[in-house]
Amino acid sequence: MKNHTSSPAEDMQLPEERGVLYGEQALRPTPKGAVDWESIHISLEVIRNGSFRAAAEHLGTSINVLRRRVDELERSLGVKLLTRHVDGVRITSEGEKIFQAAKKMEVASYELIQAGEQTNVHLSGEVRLAVTEGLGTFWIAPWLVEFQRANPNLLVDVNCAMKSADVLRLEADVAIQITRPTVPDLRMVKLGRLHFMFFAAPSYIETFGRPKDAADLVNHRLLIQSNDNVQWREFYDRLWPGVPASQFVSLRTNVSSAHYWSIVKGGGIGILPTYAQWIGAPLVPLDLDIHEFMDIWLTYHPDAKNIPRVSRLIEWVIQCFSPEKFPWFRDEFIHPLKLMEHYPSDPLTSLSSIFPRRGS
């Protein structure tokens, strides 16, 4: 096999090929005899995700970039780390030994980053975060106090809106959205996945009972959120093809917060994320074999990661949506009633107590 030496033109193209990679290192071939940590980290992500395709989606870069980095690492170490199969990748026995050591390096690198953050207490200025209205109101806002206390000299400007911000035009430093960006110049990373199912308040069930199945929903008071999201329109059309909304929809709202409170206060049955109960909502999940999901994306300008205050915000946002810590953001669907097995903690907030029931 011939050694590959990149041309100047190829070196100029490499940053264009990548998405968001931890450490934000330039994707350049490693000098012979040196071991590149970023290639080790990429290889670990390929193993953890089970395939190059899944790892590329997770890291927000191309499959070819990942394959090249793994090949370079194998040539540098002189061993075969992974074998490729139709159903994904498998680690070799030689690779197993190397990656056990790599995991220790990974832990050490995180400790190094944390130590650096602890010594850098002088970050100041303004950071602008754009986020969809539902995630901004019910997920980001409750956690913001922790970010503010850790970064007292930063002014955080949070813009909650149904429409995604244009970070290339500097409408925001960082944006969280539920539609995958299509602009090639953006840096992006998949934060997690939102899972949706039907919920009802106990007061609604006491008054109107539970729907027997999906078809029985037309005999109940349905609450829907209507916006420009094509996926939601297709979802409703798929459930009730040809049925006019006026026959079973009692309330239609255009923002997540109004939709949420209408369901919590017993106005009807509606779709909500599975973490709805974990923000303190007294809701009952309805087992109707209906489950929808949307991926959550983080986007920012290519130069934003080089600005310390923006980089700090990006790292914090990624932690807020950690699928390892918060199981409702994992790719696999977990029923709300089983989430306690994965997250045995108290509800995150008590938002439902803001408007107490009449007579309480």
Read off the pLDDT of residues 14-60 as tens digits, 9 standing for 90 and up. Answer: 333 344 443 344 344 444 455 677 888 888 888 888 889 888 888 88
Residue 279 has pLDDT above 90, yes or no: no
Average pLDDT over residues 250-271: 90
Residue 282 has pLDDT above 50, yes or no: yes
Same domain, 65 and 95: yes
On whether residue 221 sits in a domain, the answer given is yes
Q: In this structure, what CATH number is given to the domain that contains residue 360?
A: 3.40.190.290
Same domain, 248 and 110: no
Average pLDDT over residues 211-236: 79
Same domain, 113 and 146: no
Q: What is the pLDDT of residue 34?
A: 55
Q: What is the pLDDT of residue 45?
A: 86
Average pLDDT over residues 333-360: 61
Average pLDDT over residues 235-255: 79
Residue 286 has pLDDT above 90, yes or no: yes
Q: What is the pLDDT of residue 284?
A: 94
- Choice between 215 and 18, residue whose per-residue pLDDT is larger: 215
Same domain, 320 and 228: yes
Contact 55, 11 (CB under 8 A): no
Residue percentage of the chain with pLDDT more than 90? 26
Q: What is the pLDDT of residue 169?
A: 63
Domain boundary among 87, 118, 149: 118
18-22, 235-239, 242-246, 267-271: lowest mean pLDDT where? 18-22
Residue 188 has pLDDT above 60, yes or no: yes
Looking at mean pLDDT, say which of 181-190, 191-200, 278-287 comes out highest: 191-200
On whether residue 183 sits in a domain, the answer given is yes
- Choice between 98 and 192, residue whose per-residue pLDDT is larger: 192
Confidence of residue 201 (pLDDT cuts 50, 70, 90): very high
Q: From residue 239, how far is each of 196, 197, 272 by CA, in Å?
A: 14, 13, 16
Confidence of residue 306 (pLDDT cuts 50, 70, 90): confident
Same domain, 86 and 223: no
Contact 46, 55 (CB under 8 A): yes
DSSP per-residue codes, 293-335: EEEEEEEE-TTGGGSHHHHHHHHHHHHHT-TTT-GGGSSS---
Contact 227, 236 (CB under 8 A): no
Contact 159, 285 (CB under 8 A): no
- Choice between 360 and 109, residue whose per-residue pLDDT is larger: 109
Q: If you average pLDDT over every residue of the chain, what do you get?
A: 79
Average pLDDT over residues 230-240: 72
Domain boundary among 82, 99, 118: 118
Please give the sequence-ordered ranges of beta strands (E in DSSP) within 93-229, or none if there are none: 125-132, 154-161, 174-177, 187-200, 222-225
pTM: 0.61
Q: In this structure, what CATH number is given to the domain that contains residue 58?
A: 1.10.10.10
Q: What is the pLDDT of residue 25?
A: 40
Residue 105 has pLDDT above 60, yes or no: yes
Residue 355 has pLDDT above 80, yes or no: no
- Segments forming the whole domain that contains residue 146: 125-360
Residue 193 DSSP class: E
Residue 330 has pLDDT above 90, yes or no: yes
- Choice between 355 and 236, residue whose per-residue pLDDT is larger: 236
Same domain, 256 and 323: yes
Same domain, 27 and 93: yes
- The number of domains in the chain is 2
DSSP per-residue codes, 78-116: TS--EEEETTEEEE-HHHHHHHHHHHHHHHHHHHHHHHH
Same domain, 91 and 133: no
Residue 241 has pLDDT above 90, yes or no: no
On whether residue 55 sits in a domain, the answer given is yes
Rounded CA separation 101/99 (Å) = 5
Rounded CA separation 301/263 (Å) = 37
On whether residue 164 sits in a domain, the answer given is yes
Dihedral (C-alpha) 61, 45, 92, 105: value to the nearest 10 degrees? 120
Domain boundary among 63, 83, 118: 118
Confidence of residue 115 (pLDDT cuts 50, 70, 90): low
Q: What is the pLDDT of residue 54?
A: 87
Which residue type sits at 182? T
